[in-house]
A and B are shown apart, each in its own frame.
Chain A
Amino acid sequence: MRYIEPHAHMVSRTTDDYMAMVTAGCKAVCEPAFWAGFDRSSAHGFYDYFCQLTDYEPKRAAKFGLPHFSWLCINPKESEDVKLADEVIALIPEFLKRENVLGIGEIGLNKNSRNEMTVLEKHVNVAAENDQLILVHTPHLEDKRKGTQLIVDLIKSDSRIDPGKVLIDHVEEHTAKYVMDAGFWGGLTLYPESKCTSARAIDILENFGSERLWLNSACDWGVSVPLAVPYAAHEMRRRGYDDDAIDQVFYRNPVKFLSQCPNFTVR
């Protein structure tokens, strides 16, 4: 099979993971900017991180023949400090010129606070002013329903943003419909405990339609599975889906969304 890994934090992963992914059929990996597991102390830390995402990590991936793309932002987990967020957001336009950048992400909300929303609005504004794709992180667990609705309502109300150029990630059974009905793309994240299992992800594809959904591992420094995407493809096969249906979900869908950014190309 061939597949795209549309959401993976490869700076936290080993070369063994790159090897396993390309062996399983991965044709491109996309890396959103996220929280390091600790708060960075200044905008300089983000400058270095953006260099890593747009220069060093693509070179590391290229050693395995894997095209690497990235998304830029300050993650909602660090959005409580609006002054820091302003300094980081000011760095972004310069980095948008780098050739592996797909857009602004993963922005969104974490605990649904006022400052998080302020920083989300600022990011959406950068995306609108620079005609960028948007990748949105929705909150975890008990905060997801409320956060997803607040995010969808905010972006939907901005007439400059085409919903077809926005992907709302980490949807589950209670948020998928709200996202899809608003015209956005949705992402299903495969985590054994805190998000979706393969079986549930396929249920969601069956219940809400597979046209504007993709699946990702969101693998990072925490408990996560870098091969979760091909494992989910195997689950689809167990359910009776043929190669064409699997290719549609795991390759053609992400390629369709990502190709709206001229920087995204796959062989």
Chain B
Amino acid sequence: MKPKEKQNTVELYYMEARAKLIDIAAFMDRIERDGFTDDFRYKAFKDALRELDSENRAQSVLLSLSDPTEELIPFATTKAACGAWPDKP
């Protein structure tokens, strides 16, 4: 799918992306200042940042935060997901 009139997407999205980037920087400053850097979610977050150098960035970030295993688990001990795979080495 392509628009009839292509827009300048930098014009459309730059300010929003800039704000999100600064939010990420401030989030990392906050976690480091408060000493929670060992949390598996924060480690997964920092790993996922490296995917910004890849080609399909959104897909690569999502995969980096995903459970990479293939087998069904024996039973569900929780209903919730936390946004990062807890067993990542």
B45 to chain A, nearest CB (A): 12
Q: Does B56 contact A (CB under 8 A)?
A: yes
Q: Verify B66–A144 contact, CB threshold 8 A.
A: yes
Interface residues of B in 41-86 (CB under 8 A from A): 56, 58-59, 62-63, 65-70, 72-85
| Contact status of A113 and B72, CB under 8 A, knowing A142-B83, A174-B63 | yes
Which of A80, A174, A239 touches B75 (beta carbons < 8 Å)? A80
| Number of A residues with CB within 8 Å of any CB on chain B | 40
Q: Verify B76–A141 contact, CB threshold 8 A.
A: no
Q: Verify A114–B3 contact, CB threshold 8 A.
A: no
Q: Verify B74–A141 contact, CB threshold 8 A.
A: no
Q: Does B4 contact A (CB under 8 A)?
A: yes
Majority DSSP secondary structure for residues of B touching A: loop
Q: Verify A116–B76 contact, CB threshold 8 A.
A: yes
Interface residues of A in 187-223 (CB under 8 A from B): 194, 199-200, 203, 205-206, 209-210
| Contact status of A142 and B85, CB under 8 A, knowing A173-B58, A240-B3 | yes
A215 to chain B, nearest CB (A): 12
B80 to chain A, nearest CB (A): 8
Q: Does B22 contact A (CB under 8 A)?
A: no
Which of A77, A110, A142, A199 touches B13 (beta carbons < 8 Å)? A199
Closest residue of A by beta carbon distance from B66? A145
| Contact status of A113 and B74, CB under 8 A, knowing A139-B81, A141-B82, A209-B1 | yes
Q: List 10 A-B contacts (CB under 8 A).
A: A111-B77, A112-B67, A140-B80, A141-B82, A143-B81, A146-B69, A203-B58, A245-B1, A245-B4, A249-B1
Other A-B pairs beyond A80-B75, A239-B12, A249-B1, 12, CB < 8 Å = A111-B81, A112-B72, A114-B72, A116-B76, A141-B81, A142-B65, A142-B66, A146-B68, A173-B58, A205-B1, A206-B2, A245-B3
